[in-house]
Amino acid sequence: MRQQDLDDAQIASIQEKLYNSDIDEKDEYGYYKDAGRQIYEWDKKPVDIAFSPELQRQLLGDEFDTLKPSRGFIDAFKKEYGLGREHFAEARRRARWAQGKSENAPRWDEMTESYPLNIRLQELRGKAPKTLNDTLNHMGMGLEPAGNGRRAGQLLATLANDLTQDTSRGFYWLLNALQATGAVITETTLGNSNPDLFKLKPVTYKDPETGIDTVLNIQNDEDRVLAIKLGFLDTHKNTRRGIRIKPSVEEGGIPTNAGNSKNKYLMRPRFNPGDLNSLLIPTGAAINTGLGLMSPFGGIEGYEAAVPDPNDKTKTSNAIAEVAAKYFLGRTGNLLPYDEFVKVRPDVSPAEYRAYKAFKYDKELDLNPFDGDFTLPTGVVKGTTEGIHGPEIQFLGRGLPLTTGIIPFGSALVGTKMGVKRNRPIRGGLIGGMAGLAVGQGAGNLIEGERRRRNKAENESYGEL
244 and 154 co-located in one domain: no
Is residue 162 located within the same domain as residue 212?
A: no
- Do 350 and 282 lie in a common domain? yes
Whether this model's pTM surpasses 0.85: no
What is the rounded (10 degree) CA torsion for 385, 386, 387, 391?
A: 30
Range of the domain at 229: 200-269
Q: Residues 256, 287: one domain?
A: no
Same domain, 75 and 166: yes
Report the candidate in 465, 434, 435 with the shortest Cα–Cα distance to residue 452.
465
**135, 152: one domain:** yes
Residue 312 lies in a domain: no
Of 80 and 46, the one with more pLDDT: 80
Most confident of the following: 21-35, 84-98, 125-139, 329-343: 329-343
pLDDT tens for 310-360 read 999 999 999 999 999 999 988 999 999 999 999 999 999 999 999 999 998
Q: Is the pLDDT of residue 291 over 60?
A: yes
Query: Of residues 445 and 135, which shows the higher confidence score?
Result: 445
How many domains would you assign to the chain?
Answer: 3
* Residues 285 and 405 occupy one common structural domain: yes
Distance CA 58, CA 68 (A): 13
Based on the fold, state whether residues 451 and 350 are members of the same structural domain: yes
| Domain membership flag for residue 121 | yes
CA distance 262 to 249: 10
- pLDDT digit string (tens) for 311-324? 999 999 999 999 99
Minimal CA–CA distance to 389: which of 372, 379, 376, 403? 403
Same domain, 206 and 345: no
- Binned at pLDDT 50, 70 and 90, residue 1 comes out as very low
The four Cα atoms 280, 285, 290, 292 give a dihedral, to 10 degrees, of 130
Q: Looking at the domain assignment, is residue 247 inside a domain?
A: yes
Q: Measured between alpha carbons, how far is 107 from 89 in angstroms, rounded to an integer? A: 13
